[in-house]
Amino acid sequence: MNQIFKLFIPMLSSNLILVLSGLIDLAYVGHFSNDHVAALSVTLSLYTVIYVIGMGILQGVILKLSEAYGCHDIPHIRQIFIQGIWLMLCSALVSIGLLYLFRDLPKLFGASEHVVSITKNCMWALVFILPAHLLMRLFTALSQVTENAHKVLLSDSIFFILKIILSYLLIYGVALFSIPPLGAIGALLATLIVRWFMLAVYYLFFLEKSYIFIEQPERSVEDSRQSLRMILKIGIPTAIMALMDVVAFCSVAILILPFGSVVSAAHQIVASTGGFMFIFPSSIASAYSILVSRSMGSGNMQEANKIARQSVWVIMAVSGSLSLCLWLERDLIVTFYSDDLAVQILAASLLLIVCLFHFLDGLMALLTSLLRCWDVSILPMLIFLVVVLGCGLGGGWWMAYKGLHWQDISISAMGIYGFWWMAALSYLVACLLSAFCFHFRKQLRGF
């Protein structure tokens, strides 16, 4: 368990700091202008969509780095790391292309000209933030894999301190230095400056250069291609799953608009709460996947299986405990988000479903992470796309607006509850199918 905590805490800190940075920026900008709040909210949402593409590819890099570290193959670590750099830069280019396609999205949904103008300026900042962020995650991944995760925690802490200070200065301006108030653009400019600064600092003082700058025999082109294929075989399905997951939740927010502002507000509360809670099981899943891959790389399959089985019990305990706490404190949570009684009542009732959903979501995240360790990545993606998107999102829309009328069964249209109940049901089915795949992981290797 000591190894898990050494990996889990830095991973949790990275995810929490990403979320908290956005929340603090929104809090700062909230005292600046409502238009800037709207623009920053849209920009941060778009950033989440494009960021998960690179993070999905990075999962393949991390698992292969872990295997190489497990068998002490330093030349292979170097090869994978360099390929990771190119993959992060290519992912950034793809994401920037998507960002260009999304440039008119705020206008499409009826935002004012002023909000659209601010959002477009903010998007330019994202173009330069994303490469630095993805490269930083690659650098920290090498530290985590090579048992130097404490460096990640230190660098994240420095980033967070610098970020909240510089955001305040650029959002509200500094008359002493003739810096005008920049609002939302200032928040992203602060992120841009601190991201690149910390990338340089990490490279100079924290990065494990002994694994990169080494004398090594020239590896064959076929060997490099095989390494790249293995990374992408894991990374591409993971990126697709992550992207579709974000798109699905964004789609629900749009599809429920006809239900009115109370329903939209309640949905936003429970979705934000569930998203924040997911940081914990996702960090645990990433930490365990590194340990499992490391053991597999060293050839100790018995230890890898033992760690994998242990991780299932741990994630169930953690997700179950968080769900219980969420249910017990549901009234406190909804009052923190809203003063509207109608919103509070609806959100509190939805949180019961979210508790079940969170438990299944955490288990699903772990099972898919473990399956990737055995090079089973295509099947989890197909399960997710068919069950979660098809039955969950599609079935959720049907139950929300149409209901179910078949033979003696008659369920009237469920509204927002239809989306959440179908999401929970689809994740239950996906977990069962993923557990089946996990049981036969050795036979399914490569799928």
User: Splitting the chain (447 residues) into consecutive groups of 10 residues, what average pLDDT does each group show?
Assistant: 75 81 78 75 80 88 87 85 91 86 67 75 87 93 87 90 91 80 87 94 89 66 80 88 82 77 78 84 88 86 89 91 88 77 84 88 91 89 86 84 72 80 90 90 80
CB atoms within 10 A of CB 434: 25
pLDDT the model gives residue 171:
87
Q: What is the Cβ-side half-sphere exposure of residue 117, based on CA atoms within 13 angstroms? A: 5
pLDDT the model gives residue 410:
67
What sign results for the dihedral spanned by CA atoms 264, 266, 272, 275?
A: negative
pLDDT the model gives residue 107:
65
> Residue for token digits 């090079």?
375
* Domain-located, residue 338: no
What sign results for the dihedral spanned by CA atoms 187, 188, 191, 196?
A: negative
Bridge partner list, 404:
411
Q: Are 61 and 84 in contact (CB under 8 A)?
A: yes
Overall domain count for the chain: 1
pTM assigned to the model: 0.87
* Domain-located, residue 291: no
Measured in whole angstroms, the distance separating CA 140 from the mean position of its chain's CA atoms is 16
pLDDT the model gives residue 219:
61
CB atoms within 10 A of CB 438: 20
* Domain-located, residue 381: no
* Domain-located, residue 96: yes
* Domain-located, residue 188: yes
Residue at 379: amino acid letter? L
What are the residues whose beta carbons fall under 8 Å from the beta carbon of 299, sequence distance 6 or more?
A: 70, 71
* Domain-located, residue 341: no
Cα 102 from Cα 372, distance rounded (Å): 31
* Domain-located, residue 284: no
Q: Is 446 helix (H, G, I), strand (E, B) or coil?
A: coil
pLDDT the model gives residue 190:
92
* Domain-located, residue 419: no
pLDDT the model gives residue 1:
63
* Tokens found for residue 107: 């206008």
Domain holding 204, by residue range, is: 1-255
